[in-house]
Structure 1
Amino acid sequence: MTHPPGTRPPVAQAAAALAVCLSLVAAALVAVLVRPPGASAAAPAGTGTGYLSTSGNRIVDGTGQTVRLTGINWFGMETDNKTFHGLWARGYKSMLDQMAQLGYNTLRVPYSNDALKPDAKATSVDGVSNPDLVGLSPLQILDKVIAYAGQKGMRVILDRHRPTSAGQSALWYTPAVSETTWIEDWKALARRYAGNPTVIGADLHNEPHADGTDPNGTGSCWGCGDPARDWRLAAERAGNAILSVNSNWLIFVEGVSCPSGGNANSWDDIPDEHCGWWGGNLSKAGQYPVRLNVANRLVYSPHEYGISVYRQPWFDSADFPNNLAAIWDQQWGYLYKQNTAPLLLGEFGSTLADPKDKVWLEKLLAYAGTGATGMSFTYWSWNPNSGDTGGILNDDWTTVNQAKQSILQPYLIPPTPGDGGGPTDPPPTGSDACKVAYTVINRWSGGFQGNVDVTNSGSTTFRNWTLTFDVPQGVTVSSGWNATFSQSGTKVTVKGPSWNADLEAGEKASVGFTANGSDTPQPQTYAVNGTSCG
């Protein structure tokens, strides 16, 4: 989905707290009073326990129980702001509280590769509403949001939305951002959040599509066999690279607009072509499936929109809305109905300004199904400043658009705090769960050696422990011992060795490293398996 970078609508600061309360009360009433025939109450499974995988057309948790993701998109990290929009108006914890209360159990986070650069700066963050975000980088703010979402029982999907903040791209690479950069940045994120099952996977590239100018096809195709254009092959390369460093993640793969890569916004011009929404066409995925090296990790993720985004020809067909199910079957629904793979509708939305869009949205959600066994989804968007869809929030960034929420509410499965814990043991919480001691053991002009002792001071085991910490700008870790070291920007990730993979309660691990740069100020924000350390 496209939207104006950095757009900031007027914010109604007055009575914000009261408005939040009123909107949450209203949402709770809607949840009770508005249910379509046959709709079930919220499934008790919530978002499950531990890491997620797939089984046929289901997403399942670490115990094999079916999980249904019913989430929301919160954009901004892909724009010039390089962080979540609305932080100029409200605190991030307040917004996540509201999302969870309304019933959204998953957060899809769009980002651009610009936001991952070591010198990236987050802008438009109100320090009064978000005092703990002041001065943080985009990735450090993302860490904070993920940590709090995990406390709420929510899951997080990372979405590579744009190569740069300038806009979306038909292909997954551009002259400014190579395929290698795309994949390496994904691997860095996969390492960064290894051991943290709140983050469940990677939406590899947002809305691959035809370029709209060349009828012979120069945009993303599916199954055409050209390595420079075949999105299916690119998804395999990226997905397998990610799984090589973090085998626990799900890999979310969107469709294209036209299997040939050309003829944008055409439905019937070429037999069996049936071009549709950017990212929404998975009609060739049955014939040419994405092949991953780790079994049970693939989720297909089409996009679907209403008239306010583009007036597709099927909206004006004489048999609307009865024609919609057949279109969805042909484009992507067959994958679910044939038990090929799970589906997550990664984006769908509308302003609802056209009466047909209300009918379309109701039909789409009914098609997706109710209860724990329906298709998963993440609605576009939380933000009110999405130009062609608007959001669940109104322009004050506080009150809820009840017309939309009332349609979505019966299909939402609220998160349960405590869900999403580690694959075997619940993670310890708070700075008392682990302690670190840092020492500079040698220094010279242009470099130094450091040592970190990390102690499990909690009562449960850190399985497959991973230590992370931040170093100052300009410091690069060149080598390490007693663990595997990697670095992305200022974030250093230390993976425990196979011979000491589990850190039992009361045990200590000692790791050391050699680095280039100044040894002051010392590293900070230590965490083990996503749990902050004192």
Structure 2
Amino acid sequence: MSRRRFTALGAAVVTAAGLLVALIGVPSANASTGTGYLHTDGNRIVDSTGATVRITGINWFGMETDNKTFHGLWSNNPWRGQVDTMARLGYNTLRIPYSNDALKAGATASGVNDFVNPDLAGLSPLQILDKVIEYAGSKGMRVILDRHRPTAAGQSPLWYTPTVSEQTWIDDWLMLARRYAGNTTVIGADLHNEPHAEGTNPAATGACWGCGDPLRDWRLAAERAGNAILAVQPNWLIFVEGVSCPSGGLSDVWDGDPGNDEDCGWWGGNLSRAGTHPVRLDVANRLVYSPHEYATSVYHQDWFDDPAYPANMPAIWDRYWGYLYKQNIAPIMMGEFGTTLANDIDRVWLTELMRYTGTGVTGMSFTYWSWNPNSGDTGGIANDDWTTVNQAKQAILQPYLIAPSPGGGTGTPTPTGTASPTGTASPTPGTGTGACTVTYRQDNAWQGGFQGAITVTNTGTAAVNPWQARWTWPAGVTLASGWNATVSQSGTTVTAAGPAWSPSLAPGASVSIGFTANGTATPPISLQLNGAGCA
């Protein structure tokens, strides 16, 4: 199968020096994408209260390419404006592809217009990812991380390559799981993108399903990685794609007879053996199967020429992956599907595929490929200006979208740092004043300034509403910027007030207040939450 091509940047990149501002995401919790972390119940995805959640999201790619960050940051539409449009259109989840190259120490993001996005100037790929997650969470959206490629050079049939080992693949997942622990905006891991047969080789050398070879059996690898992640972050969903040919070759060597034609499908789209050879995870109710499905603009499959088309398509979808949902085995989250709509066959395909997923909150989940207009054989929801919308595609998808809605809910982002000095101030009257703890970490320092984050946890029995944190700095240390709160300074006292979209801090909940400051790097002194000293 051919894969999507990424067209050239087509824009000049403006560079400028800037401060490193790492943002940690603020979790979402709302009616459309649920409250707290998500898990599964039969073929449903449900939230922490048991309410059904339907993911109706979109892919925003680029972090898996040589740019190592989101495409479209070179455009004249600021990155927040693009997220705003996605949320407004009804996409409640972002699937974010990345390569392991983007996670390396010293990785550099390119293709960023610093004039339009000054807050991204000088940031690393992970720091930009932090900011997008934070802002998506403030819009009520969720995020799925997708290991799309081992390197920026391209996709791979197997989850490892000669230069990127299985252990590196798993270790990087563990780093991400720890980085976003406690942040319910990030709901899970799409372990590896589109395992498939090896090129045009008819021998069984590519990814298989259930063949038992630990070097090729994608089902076994998904178990190893999924269980490693769940040991660190047991609240994440584990998204597992299919293969192309269950044997891992382009002929049927499953039963030892290479003369039989194997039933092969899209890369990552064949889950026909998941029913008899399921992925086994150590934590129950965390598995979501995530097939991919495409139209003729990607590859002209034989089934598009069937005289019965499109009436033949539901049986094909049933056979490859729909049976898992219909038999209540596991949820389906169609991770990629897309088309240019240049051919009327494709227009019919997209219309029928959406009908097949079902309507309302009980329908199958999905993330459309893609927001980006520069996906060469699908195009995007955004037009080439990265601002206006392809109305023909949006009109077909719109009836199935469940828009996000900003809501309450906070969490504890990671990584945590060393504890700050214990506060000593006496409590003062206020709504929900009570016990609290604080940790402080310094993320960066440079000549004349530094960056850090303060995580405050309400350990009392009542909500603090509205919450307000205060601390002091020595003379000469001044606030430059702050986020996740309204941060201001008067004299040596800094005040961080709860933002309008999350004014309440529930019992047991935490908030991470990020900042940059001028002066010598100094931990906060005597931090208080609504007048109560924090330990």
Q: Are the structure 2 counterparts of residues 252 and 237 from structure 1 closer, same or farther at C-alpha, using a change threshold of 3 Å?
A: same
| Letter in structure 1 aligned against 2:512 | T
Distance 2:6 2:96 in 1: 15
* Alignment partner of 1:356 is 2:321: no
Secondary structure of the 1:407 match is: helix
SS in 1 for 2:420: strand
d(CA) in 1 for partners of 2:438, 2:245: 44
Contact 2:59 2:96 in 1 (8 A): yes
Deviation at 1:259, TM superposition (A): 0.3
Task: Name which of 388, 392, 400 aligns with 1:403.
Answer: 392
Corresponding position: 1:52 with 2:38 = yes
Q: Which amino acid aligns with 2:138?
A: Q
**Aligned residues between the structures:** 446
1:347 aligns with: 336
Q: Secondary structure at the match of 1:417?
A: coil
Answer whether contact 1:351 1:390 (CA < 8 A) is retained.
yes
**Match for residue 470 of structure 1 among 430, 433, 443:** 443
The yes-or-no answer on 1:61 pairing with 2:61 is no
Q: Distance in 1 between matches of 2:419 and 2:213?
A: 49
Residues of 1 paired with 2:78 and 2:407: CA distance? 22
Q: Is the 8 A contact 2:183 2:412 kept in 1?
A: no
Structure 1 partner of 2:18: none
- Tell me which residue corresponds to 2:8: 7
Q: How does 1:12-411 map onto structure 2 within 5 Å?
A: 45-89=31-75, 90-263=77-250, 273-411=262-400
**Per the alignment, in what secondary structure is the counterpart of residue 185 of structure 1?**
helix
Q: Structure 1 residues 530, 216: closer, same or farther in 2, change over 3 A?
A: farther
Partner of 2:407 in structure 1?
Answer: 418
Contact 1:215 1:262 in 2 (8 A): yes
Distance in 2, matches of 1:265 and 1:8, equals: 41
- The alpha carbon displacement at 1:301 in A equals 0.1
The DSSP-based 3-state class of the residue aligned with 1:244 is: helix
* Contact preservation (8 Å) 1:462, 1:529: no
Taking structure 1 as reference, are residues 363 and 252 closer, same or farther at Cα in structure 2, changes over 3 Å only? same
Is the Cα–Cα contact under 8 Å of residues 419 and 439 in structure 2 kept in the other structure?
A: no
Tell me the secondary structure at the aligned position of residue 251 of structure 1: strand
Distance 2:66 2:7 in 1: 6
Q: Classify the secondary structure of the residue corresponding to 1:398.
A: coil
- Distance in 1, matches of 2:436 and 2:56, equals 29
Per-residue CA distance 1:490-534 (angstroms, 9 max, x = gap): x999999xxx995887999xxxxxxxxxxxxxxx99989563245
CA positional deviation for 1:92: 1.3
Q: Is the 8 A contact 1:470 1:526 kept in 2?
A: no
1:340-371 alpha-carbon deviations (Å, 9 max, x no partner)? 00000000000011110000001100000000
Q: How far, CA to CA, are the matches of 1:229 and 1:463 in structure 2?
A: 50
- Specify which structure has the higher proportion of helix: 1
8 Å contact from structure 2 (residues 458, 510) kept in 1: no
Q: Deviations over 1:413-469 (max 9, x none)?
A: 0001116x34xxxx599xxxxxx9x9xxxxxxxxxxx76348799969999998765
Provide, for residues 170-222 of structure 1, a one-character-per-residue CA deviation record: whole Å limited to 9, x for no partner: 00000111000000000000000001000000000000000133222100000
Specify whether residues 453 and 157 from structure 1 end up closer, same or farther in structure 2 by C-alpha distance, changes over 3 A only. Answer: farther
Residue type of the alignment partner of 1:227 = P
Q: CA deviation at 1:81?
A: 0.5
Equivalents in 1 of 2:436, 2:263: separation in Å? 48
Q: What is the CA–CA distance in structure 1 between the aligned matches of 2:323 and 2:227, rounded to whole Å?
A: 25
Q: 1 CA distance for matches of 2:6 and 2:201?
A: 27
Is 1:452 the counterpart of 2:420? The answer is yes
Q: How far has the Cα of 1:270 moved from its partner?
A: 6.9
- Quick check: 1:265–1:276 contact (8 Å CA) kept in 2? no
Using the alignment, how far apart are the partners of 1:230 and 1:162 within structure 2? 18
CA deviation string 1:136-160 (max 9, x = no partner):
1000000000000000000000000
Preserved contact between residue 5 and residue 80 of structure 1 (Cα < 8 Å): no
Q: How far apart in 1 are the matches of 2:419 and 2:513? A: 18
**CA distance in structure 2 between the aligned counterparts of 1:460 and 1:337, rounded to whole angstroms:** 50
> Cα distance 1:279–1:529, how it changes in 2: closer, same or farther (>3 A)?
farther
Cα offset, 1:470, TM superposition: 2.1
- 1:461/1:205 Cα in 2 relative to 1: closer, same or farther (>3 Å)? farther
Q: Percent identity?
A: 65
Give the partner amino acid of 1:376: S
- Aligned partner of residue 201 in structure 1, secondary structure: strand
Letter in 2 for 1:230: D
8 A contact 2:412–2:511 mirrored in 1? no
2:306 aligned partner, one-letter code: S
Distance 1:298 1:462 in 2: 37
Partner Cα separation in structure 2 for residue 199 and residue 177 of structure 1? 25
Distance in 2 (alpha carbons) for counterparts of 1:65 and 1:465: 32
Q: Which amino acid aligns with 1:175?
A: P
Instruction: Compute the displacement of 1:130 (Å).
Output: 1.3
| Distance of 1:467 and 1:271 partners within structure 2 | 62
Q: CA RMSD in A?
A: 3.6
Residue identity in the other structure for 1:330: R
**SS of 2:407 mapped into structure 1:** strand
Structure 1: how far apart are the matches of 2:170 and 2:441? 21
Distance 2:246 2:391 in 1: 37
Alignment equivalent of 1:532, drawn from 513, 519, 529: 513
What is the identity, as a one-letter code, of the residue corresponding to 2:61? F
Equivalent pair of 1:525/1:532 in contact (CA under 8 Å): yes
Question: CA offset at residue 309 of structure 1?
Answer: 0.1
Measured against aligned partners, the alpha-carbon deviations of 1:383-417 in whole angstroms (never above 9, x if no partner) come to 00000000001111111001100000000000011
**Using the alignment, how far apart are the partners of 2:435 and 2:302 within structure 1?**
55
Amino acid of the residue matched to residue 244 of structure 2?
Answer: S
CA distance in 1, matches of 2:436, 2:278: 34
1:127 is displaced (CA, Å) by 1.5
Deviation for aligned residue 1:264: 7.6
What are the residue-to-residue correspondences of 1:512-523 with 2, within 5 Å? Answer: none
CA distance in 1, matches of 2:326, 2:436: 37
- CA separation of 1:3 and 1:493: change in aligned 2, threshold 3 A: farther
One-letter amino acid matched to 2:150: P
Cα separation, partners in 2 of 1:4 and 1:318, compared to 1, 3 Å: closer
Whether the 8 Å CA contact 2:455–2:510 is kept in 1: the answer is no
Q: Deviations over 1:54-81 (max 9, x none)?
A: 0000000011000000000000000010
Q: 1:270 to 1:467 in 2, by over 3 A?
A: farther
Unaligned residue ranges in structure 1 (runs of 5+): 12-43, 430-435, 439-449, 474-490, 509-523
Q: Which amino acid aligns with 2:62?
A: G
User: Is this contact kept in 1: 2:252–2:260, CA < 8 A?
Assistant: no
CA distance in 1, matches of 2:431, 2:324: 45
